[in-house]
Amino acid sequence: MMNRQVLIGTILFCTAMAVLLFLRLLPLSPGTTRWPGPDLELCLVLAWMLRRPDQLAAPVIALAFLVQNAILFHPLGLWPAIVLAGSEAARLREGRWRDGPFMVEWLRVSVLMGVMMLGYRFAQVVFMLPVPALGQVILQYIATVAAYPAVVLAARVLFGLRRVTLAEAEQMRFAR
């Protein structure tokens, strides 16, 4: 049975993902070519995973990104699988990354995002899926890395999302 904090965190995460998907679907400037924007959903899941890993179950992450893929007509299941692998890698390292400064976290998350985007591009090539221009992918990566601190700040302000203290981590470990 889920405790109340986990349930509230899961509902907040799902709501935030739905809002971000809705904003992505808005026709803000139809007919014009724009710079690729950041993947705010990826930033949010990694920020959440490094702050409250107990609130996000793997099926919740997979389902949120699967719904996003279905609505945006992307290759179904490929990006959710990569995001799930990356977020679980972040979950495994959360304990070791907890006490580091934010700049180090930002660097580590940037490398993780780069590996995830490279893996996605590699899978697109291997399975002969449509591959976007490399310049567009690099610009999206730069935008996503640049947006990570803003997403962390917004998650802190809007949802009260903060790093788990050592005492809370011990409590979570014994609660399992």
**pLDDT at site 1:** 44
pLDDT in tens, 29-40: 666 667 888 999
Q: Which residues of 154-174 are buried (b: 16+ CB within 10 A; e: fewer)?
A: bbeeebebebbeeeebeeeee
pLDDT at 28 over 90: no
% pLDDT > 70, the chain:
90
Concatenated DSSP letters for 123-134?
A: HHHHTT-----H
pLDDT at 26: 84
Question: The whole model's pTM is what?
Answer: 0.90
pLDDT single digits (tens) 154-174: 999 999 888 877 776 666 666
